[in-house]
């Protein structure tokens, strides 16, 4: 049995339109500049309104009750006021219905004597809320007819992710939101011309249930056609398709278009980029429209910052996007800070069809950890490839380092890390997270392999390997982040390996509770030097902070870190740090503020860093 109450729009029940309100003229305010009193007179109303209902319903009625419109009509007579009260009952029933209450008890009365200012009292007992009963989601178009696994998966996903399942409370807002999300899931992949063909919410007010029916028409399957680029003048025309990496003939996927747009916008060559497919175009070969606005050929960036590891810093960076006579980009940066100032220039070519670039780099740096000062230089030449999930680097590298004492340390006692080497290297990094830079699940895996020879007076072979892993496991509330890293340099004891190829750890992003590079090999004079083996591990519980019962942009964390460095694996003795902190989803990436206790040094340290890096 169905109730005669009028549900919200999109619901199967209907009711005749109410008669028009009384034709009264609402007084208009005095126009600005017109002659009148210097202060506005107090507002005169025909009646007051008092709503007596649960808080959520009360707020809704106070905002949207049609009676509010007629309070300024001061010459209403008793008959007209009585007619408004009758009309208000239907208006209240409709408004309460949008919250899922279709059998409310509504009483509207006028209080006050003949000589008193009247008050219209609206009392509502909403009764039992309506819950969702049966849900039927059907399809039309290619998605209903296709036997392609992609179409079958998309259909199943839309049905699985439906946001208003059986048993959930029905309201107009949740009904509209669920339909909108289902349509978004339809047009996000394969079917950009998809539409909502039909929808029905069949309310049984007596049983307090609503049966939902939804029909989605996908239209035809769309495949990407040729790329049509506008706005490219300054740079090589092949740059846009090589950066976008969209394949002609591929099935339409909105996420791939967004990722292509982000690659273009973040490449540095363009101030803005817009990538889209017109749903009115040919489905078999829909042209990919790319609109770009080119960046200036040169730019200079000035920067300032501070970290708990290195203190304050200032930097200047110059970028030339097309060095004269070449298509290469040159980025030169000078950074000044107390711990590790450096100068670097890096030149990269535009990507080829397989997305490989040539890279040339030169860098000089001075690293001061309060005990040792390492002056180093590096030259690198090779190729790099940045993919959607996987990055690869292949290069030759020359490293040179000289180490001396800092402060009162005798430099002759701190010669560990002096040397130079030439190596061939391969670096592979895979990122399999659900989203960046704020992942909630997934993992990352990376490794570096290098081999070569020391230079100088002795040419001795060396091999270097580094592996790292980060895994994020979701929980019912929050997640667990686990991190591991290990490295080894294999060479004869007499080999003079540059300190930049050896290992030290400790600090904001490694082992919290210890200073920057504080974990290493303890020399005879107490100085901490670099070692040939390194291991770091961390477990962190990340729990969202709730606001009004919902997760906010802040998280609370508890963690334990451990790390060790040695010249022999059997000498590895972990340094442990434990602590707690907060995370904020800032516009530039995760902001991390941690307070950690170093168990070995028995000290508490504050650690601050920004960004997600793997």
Same domain, yes or no, for 162 and 249?
no
Cα distance between residue 454 and residue 457, in whole Å: 9
CATH of the domain at 264: 3.10.20.310
CATH of the domain at 487: 2.40.160.50
| Structural domain includes residue 142 | yes
Whether the Cβ atoms of residue 317 and residue 346 lie closer than 8 Å to each other: no
Residues 6+ apart with CB under 8 A from 153: none
Give the pLDDT band of residue 406 (cuts 50, 70, 90).
Answer: low
Q: How far is CA 350 from CA 231, 274, 294, 345, 380, in A?
A: 18, 20, 15, 17, 18
Cα distance between residue 252 and residue 223, in whole Å: 5
Q: Which of 175, 195, 217 is the last residue of a domain?
A: 217
Helix (H, G, I), strand (E, B) or coil at 362: strand
Concatenated DSSP letters of 254-323: HHHHHHHHHHHHHSSSEEEEEEEE-TTS-GGGEEEEEEEEEPPSEEEEEEEEEETTTEEEEEEEEEESS-
Residue 21 pLDDT greater than 80, yes or no: no
Taking residues 190-205, report their average pLDDT.
94
Same domain, yes or no, for 415 and 269?
no
Sign of torsion over alpha carbons 291, 293, 297, 299: negative
Same domain, yes or no, for 520 and 575?
yes
Same domain, yes or no, for 447 and 524?
yes
pLDDT in tens, 229-272: 999 998 988 999 999 999 999 999 999 999 899 999 989 999 99
Cα distance between residue 115 and residue 485, in whole Å: 84
Q: Which of 294, 327, 342 is the last residue of a domain?
A: 294
Whether the Cβ atoms of residue 195 and residue 217 lie closer than 8 Å to each other: yes
Tokens of 351: 């990507």
| Structural domain includes residue 317 | no
* Residue numbers of the domain that contains 289: 224-294
Q: How far is CA 107 from CA 92, 120, 339, in A?
A: 10, 10, 75
Q: For residue 147, how many other CB atoms are within 10 A of its CB?
A: 6
Residue 523 pLDDT greater than 60, yes or no: yes
| Structural domain includes residue 24 | no
Backbone angles phi, psi at 584, to 5 degrees: -130, 130
Residue 407 pLDDT greater than 50, yes or no: no
pLDDT in tens, 362-398: 999 998 877 778 899 999 999 999 888 899 999 999 9
Concatenated DSSP letters of 489-532: EEE-TT----GGGSB-B-STTSSTTS-TT-BSEEPTTS-EE-BS
Taking residues 208-212, report their average pLDDT.
94
Same domain, yes or no, for 454 and 585?
yes
pLDDT in tens, 89-127: 999 999 998 998 998 999 998 887 767 788 899 999 999
Same domain, yes or no, for 289 and 393?
no
The total number of structural domains that make up the chain: 3
Tokens of 508: 């904001």
Higher pLDDT, 42 or 205: 205
pLDDT in tens, 270-307: 999 999 999 999 999 999 999 999 999 999 999 887 77
Taking residues 156-175, report their average pLDDT.
93
User: Considering only 38-47, 507-516, 572-581, which range has the smallest mean pLDDT?
Assistant: 38-47
Rounded to the nearest 10°, the torsion over CA 570, 571, 574, 575 is -170
Cα distance between residue 496 and residue 510, in whole Å: 26
pTM: 0.68
Helix (H, G, I), strand (E, B) or coil at 196: strand
Phi-psi region of 517 (alpha: psi -120 to 50; beta: other; left: phi over 0): left
Residue 452 pLDDT greater than 60, yes or no: yes
Tokens of 533: 């083996």
| Structural domain includes residue 137 | yes
| pLDDT at 614 (0 to 100) | 81
| Structural domain includes residue 426 | yes
Same domain, yes or no, for 189 and 269?
no
Same domain, yes or no, for 600 and 508?
yes
Q: For residue 420, how many other CB atoms are within 10 A of its CB?
A: 20
Whether the Cβ atoms of residue 247 and residue 355 lie closer than 8 Å to each other: no
| Structural domain includes residue 40 | no
Q: Which of 217, 244, 260 is the last residue of a domain?
A: 217
| Structural domain includes residue 307 | no
Give the pLDDT band of residue 522 (cuts 50, 70, 90).
Answer: confident
| pLDDT at 43 (0 to 100) | 63
Same domain, yes or no, for 430 and 576?
yes
- CA-nearest of 125, 122, 126 to 49 is 122
Taking residues 598-606, report their average pLDDT.
95
| Structural domain includes residue 469 | yes
Helix (H, G, I), strand (E, B) or coil at 101: coil
The DSSP H or E segment spanning 536 is strand 533-547
Which stretches within 423-580 are classed as H helix? Answer: none
Taking residues 305-330, report their average pLDDT.
87
Same domain, yes or no, for 428 and 380?
yes
Residue 41 pLDDT greater than 90, yes or no: no
Same domain, yes or no, for 244 and 141?
no
User: Considering only 381-385, 392-396, 416-420, 506-510, which range has the smallest mean pLDDT?
Assistant: 416-420
Per DSSP, 235 falls in state S
| pLDDT at 491 (0 to 100) | 94
Higher pLDDT, 309 or 557: 557
Which residues on adjacent β-strands are paired with residue 250?
none
Same domain, yes or no, for 266 and 361?
no
| pLDDT at 506 (0 to 100) | 94
| pLDDT at 1 (0 to 100) | 34
Higher pLDDT, 286 or 587: 286
Report the chain's mean pLDDT, rounded to a whole number: 87
């Amino acid at each position: 049995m169905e109730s005669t109450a009028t549900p919200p729009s999109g619901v199967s029940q209907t009711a005749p339109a109410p008669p028009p309100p009384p034709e009264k003229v609402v007084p208009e305010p005095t126009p600005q500049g017109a002659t009148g009193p210097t202060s506005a007179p107090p507002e005169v109303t025909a009646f007051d309104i008092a709503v007596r209902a649960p808080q959520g319903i009360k707020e809704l009625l106070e905002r949207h009750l049609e009676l509010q419109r007629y309070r300024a009509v001061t010459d209403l007579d008793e008959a007209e006021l009585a007619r408004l009260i009758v009309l208000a009952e239907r208006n209240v029933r409709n408004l309460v219905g949008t919250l899922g209450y279709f059998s409310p008890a509504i009483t509207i009365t006028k209080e006050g004597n003949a000589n008193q200012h009247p008050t219209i009292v609206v009392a509502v007992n909403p009764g039992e809320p309506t819950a969702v009963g049966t849900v039927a989601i059907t399809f039309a178009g290619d998605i209903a007819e296709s036997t392609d696994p992609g179409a079958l998966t998309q259909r199943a996903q839309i049905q699985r992710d439906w946001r208003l399942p059986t048993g959930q409370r029905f309201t107009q807002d949740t009904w509209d939101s669920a339909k909108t999300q289902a349509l978004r899931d339809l047009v996000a992949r394969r079917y950009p011309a998809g539409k909502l063909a039909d929808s029905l919410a069949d309310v049984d007010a007596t049983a307090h249930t609503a049966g939902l029916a939804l029909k989605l028409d996908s239209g035809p399957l769309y495949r990407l056609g040729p790329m049509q680029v506008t706005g490219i003048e300054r740079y090589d025309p092949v740059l846009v398709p090589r950066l976008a990496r969209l394949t002609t003939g591929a099935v339409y996927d909105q996420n791939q278009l967004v990722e292509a747009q982000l690659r273009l916008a973040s490449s540095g060559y363009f101030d803005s980029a817009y990538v889209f497919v017109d749903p009115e175009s040919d489905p078999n070969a829909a042209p990919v429209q790319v609109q770009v606005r080119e960046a200036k050929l040169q730019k200079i960036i000035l920067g300032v910052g501070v970290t708990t590891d290195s203190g304050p810093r200032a930097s200047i960076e110059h970028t030339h996007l097309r060095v004269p006579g070449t298509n290469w980009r040159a980025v030169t940066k000078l950074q000044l800070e107390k711990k590790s100032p450096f100068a670097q220039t890096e030149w990269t070519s535009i990507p080829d069809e397989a997305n490989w670039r040539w890279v040339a780099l030169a860098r000089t740096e001075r690293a001061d950890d309060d005990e040792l000062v390492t002056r180093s230089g590096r030259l690198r030449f090779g190729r790099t490839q940045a993919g959607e999930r996987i990055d690869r680097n292949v290069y030759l590298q020359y490293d040179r380092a000289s180490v001396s004492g800092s402060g009162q340390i005798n430099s002759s006692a701190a010669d560990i890390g002096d040397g130079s080497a030439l190596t061939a290297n391969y670096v592979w990094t895979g990122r399999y997270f659900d989203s960046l830079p704020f992942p909630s699940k997934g993992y990352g895996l990376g490794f570096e392999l290098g081999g070569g020879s020391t230079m100088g007076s002795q040419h001795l072979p060396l091999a270097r390997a580094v592996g790292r892993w980060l895994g994020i496991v979701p929980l019912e509330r929050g997640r667990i982040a686990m991190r591991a890293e290990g490295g080894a340099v294999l060479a004869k004891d007499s080999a003079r390996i540059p300190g930049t190829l050896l290992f030290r750890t400790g600090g904001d992003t490694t082992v919290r509770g210890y200073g920057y590079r504080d974990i290493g090999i303890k020399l005879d004079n107490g100085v901490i030097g670099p070692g040939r083996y390194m291991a770091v591990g961390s477990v962190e519980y990340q729990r969202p902070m709730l606001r009004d019962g919902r997760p906010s942009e802040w998280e609370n964390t508890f963690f334990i870190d451990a790390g060790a460095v040695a010249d022999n694996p059997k000498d590895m003795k972990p340094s442990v740090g434990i602590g707690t902190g907060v995370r904020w989803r800032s516009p530039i990436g995760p902001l991390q503020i941690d307070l950690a206790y170093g168990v070995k040094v028995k000290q508490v340290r504050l650690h601050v860093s920004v960004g997600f890096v793997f």
